[in-house]
């Protein structure tokens, strides 16, 4: 099968400041359907720049990018926006949920634009509810973001990223604002989605988070310096059981000590 992402000799030079910044310097990469990739590298190494190009949020200065067989260079602004809407889902570090809007309405939002414009509100609601079920939050559909924990908010954001049935889910530090247990929970959602066939590309700073993925790419100064399969992948469900067992043990010791 053809790769879902194919980029060749991709460059990005930011010309906005006094000195041009060559942020991505010739990246070539193929991503097959069903991959789960962690994009790593030091701050300033070009991760977000590369993700923005993968996400069709920004165009490369040179090089080619084919998304699901479509060369994005040949598309105008509107066509690019449509392609993005059809093929890609996004999850951000800061969740980016609308505050005065319920979980369900937040998830519906991407369906109100693009190719779903003619779909009935009832169908949109049904699809959004289904996505909340996938992330295990159907029972919180009418909660506002400030009534949800950080992990729950990120799961709503993942549901929103899924609502248009994307080919690829792109996530820029999705666990960056979460504590370690909540991060495991979110990685569990990603692993479940990936097991169902969704391709995921995720930026992370944390090595132990990258180990939940299947393939790790490391950028340095805008160049891929390492590209390797994860040998002994962490499984979120197992990790969660370990955490729960440790918590239960801690509770027992706590109860056993009188006066503590």
Ligand X SMILES: Nc1ncnc2c1ncn2[C@@H]1O[C@H](COP(=O)(O)OP(=O)(O)OP(=O)(O)O)[C@@H](O)[C@H]1O
182 binds Mg ion (CB under 5 A): no
Buried b / exposed e along 84-116 (16+ C-beta atoms within 10 A): bbbbbbbbbbebebeeeebbbbbbbebbeeeeb
Among the residue ranges 16-24, 48-56, 213-221, 232-240, the one whose residues contact Mg ion (CB under 5 A): 48-56
Q: How far is the CB of 247 from ligand X (least distance, A)?
A: 31
Question: What CA–CA distance (Å, rounded) separates 16 from 249?
Answer: 56
Which is nearer to ligand X, 188 or 222 (by Cβ)? 222
Which is nearer to Mg ion, 93 or 153 (by Cβ)? 93
Q: Are 7 and 29 in contact (CB under 8 A)?
A: yes
Closest-approach residue to Mg ion (CB): 48
Q: How far is the CB of 125 from ligand X (least distance, A)?
A: 35
Which is nearer to ligand X, 58 or 82 (by Cβ)? 58
Binding site for ligand X (CB under 6 A): 14, 16-17, 21, 23, 41, 43-49
CA 255 to chain centre: 40
Which is nearer to ligand X, 14 or 92 (by Cβ)? 14
Size of the residue set binding Mg ion (CB under 5 A): 1
Of residues 38, 39, 48, 55, which one binds Mg ion by CB under 5 A? 48
- Classify burial at 40, counting beta carbons within 10 Å of its beta carbon; exposed 0-12, middle 13-18, buried 19 or more: buried
Among the residue ranges 16-24, 42-50, 84-92, 162-170, the one whose residues contact Mg ion (CB under 5 A): 42-50
Q: How far is the CB of 40 from Mg ion (least distance, A)?
A: 11
Question: What CA–CA distance (Å, rounded) separates 238 from 90?
Answer: 27
Q: Are 110 and 138 in contact (CB under 8 A)?
A: no
Q: Give which of Mg ion, ligand X, none residue 243 binds (C-beta under 5 to 8 Å, depending on kind).
A: none
Which is nearer to Mg ion, 10 or 132 (by Cβ)? 10
Footprint on this chain of Mg ion (rule: CB under 5 A) = 48
């Amino acid at each position: 099968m053809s790769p879902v992402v194919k980029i060749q000799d991709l460059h990005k030079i930011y010309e906005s400041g006094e000195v041009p910044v060559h942020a991505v310097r010739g990246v070539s990469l193929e991503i097959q359907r069903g991959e789960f990739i962690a994009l790593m590298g030091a701050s300033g190494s070009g991760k977000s720049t590369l993700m923005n190009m993968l996400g069709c949020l920004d165009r490369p200065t040179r090089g080619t990018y084919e998304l699901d067989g479509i060369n994005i260079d040949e598309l105008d602004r509107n066509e690019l926006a449509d392609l993005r809407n059809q093929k890609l889902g996004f999850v951000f570090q800061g969740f980016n949920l609308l505050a005065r809007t319920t979980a369900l309405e937040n998830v519906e939002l991407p369906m109100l634009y693009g190719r779903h414009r003619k779909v009935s509100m009832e169908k949109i609601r049904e699809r959004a509810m289904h996505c909340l079920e996938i992330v295990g939050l159907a029972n919180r559909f009418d909660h506002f973001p400030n009534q949800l924990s950080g992990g729950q908010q990120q799961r709503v954001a993942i549901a929103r990223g899924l609502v248009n049935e994307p080919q690829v889910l792109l996530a820029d530090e999705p666990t960056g604002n979460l504590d370690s247990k909540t991060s495991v929970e979110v990685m569990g959602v990603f692993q479940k989605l990936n097991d169902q066939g969704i391709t995921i590309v995720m930026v992370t700073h944390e090595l132990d988070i990258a180990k939940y993925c299947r393939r790790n790419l490391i950028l340095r100064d805008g160049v891929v310096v390492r590209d390797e399969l994860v040998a002994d992948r962490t499984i979120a469900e197992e990790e969660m059981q370990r955490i729960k067992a440790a918590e239960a043990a801690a509770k027992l010791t706590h109860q056993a000590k009188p006066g503590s």
